[in-house]
Amino acid sequence: MRARVPASSANLGPGFDVLALALALYLEVEVVPARRFSLCTEGEGANLACDEHHLAARVALAVCGHDRFAIRVRSDIPVGRGLGSSAALTVAAAAAAGAADPLKVAVGFEGHVENAAASLRGGLISAALLDTGPVVRHFPLDPALSFVVLVPDRELLTVEARCALAIQVPHRDAVFNLSRMGLLLAGLADRSLLIGAAGEDRLHQSQREHLFPEAPELLAHLTKAGALVSCWSGAGPSLIGICDGRAVAAQVRDAGEVALESLGVRGQAVVISPDLDGLSLEP
């Protein structure tokens, strides 16, 4: 079985650990029966060890209950950049191995549901992990919106980014984020309602700035160039700008490339469309 899933950008500013958007960068996993275990990788993440400790191998083993399979992984999703690469890999490997509920498998490995849910379902989603299991809901997404992603040539491990967060947050900061998330969801459904304040956050972005000190200035460049909202993508270090149309997105991308170079940050700026389909399977 061959499974193909998109990347994802989680949080989107105020939607910490809740919102995620599927993006048209793809990862593919193929799992076929074999006499003995083997694994090969291509593209992003190809430098990782191809052994039984690889995430795809561990997921397939958990689903199949044995290791008599061959796995091929091909990915265009940069690893450790805040674009949901591990969640995408987990969902794709579970689906390719024949899991009845790839999202449940992914949550068992990842612990967080939003990236995996976006890769599985596509589009703009919110996700909650209830006592009965994960629950996912789609939100409308204005088709005229375009997205610019700045992808630095540096990794930021999720575990490191998590350690930067406060254990407790003030009530006023929780309310601040909830109010901005309402603005964000309304603006993503209708771009005429989207304002810069919709991307504001007090729970995670400023707490992680010391891990990527150039982020605030890069975000400011995206906004100055025309992005309606700019924020971190997931735990970073990738940054995302939400734009009104592809023409604006192109100028924001160009400004992003200039900003990366001026700040001495190696990386790339790309215009990426949302993915609305999520998981696709081929026998």
46 within domain boundaries = yes
Strand blocks (E) in 182-238:
229-232
* Of 110, 139, 168, the domain-final residue: 139
3-state DSSP assignment of residue 244: strand
Whether the per-residue pLDDT at 140 is higher than 80: the answer is yes
Same domain, 93 and 170: no
114 and 213 fall within a common domain: no
Last-in-domain residue among 77, 110, 139: 139
Quick one: 162 and 262 in the same domain? Answer: yes
Residues 110, 153: one domain?
A: no
pLDDT tens digits for range 222-240: 999 999 999 999 999 999 9
Q: pLDDT tens digits for 245-262? A: 999 999 999 999 999 999
Q: Examine the pLDDT at 169 and tell me if it is beyond 80.
A: yes
Instruction: Give me the CATH number covering residue 226.
Output: 3.30.70.890
The answer to whether position 202 is within a domain reads yes
Model confidence pTM above 0.85: yes
- What DSSP string runs through 221-249? HHHHTT-SEEEE-TTSS-EEEEEESHHHH
Is pLDDT at 111 greater than 80 in this prediction?
no
Residues 57, 37 contacting (CB under 8 angstroms): yes
Domain range spanning residue 180? 145-272
Mind listing the pLDDT tens digit for each residue in 27-63?
A: 999 999 999 999 999 999 988 888 999 999 999 999 9
Q: Are both 91 and 9 inside the same structural domain?
A: yes
Place of tokens 């023409």: 247
Would you place residue 161 in the very low, low, confident or very high pLDDT band (cuts 50, 70, 90)? confident
Residue 121 lies in a domain: yes
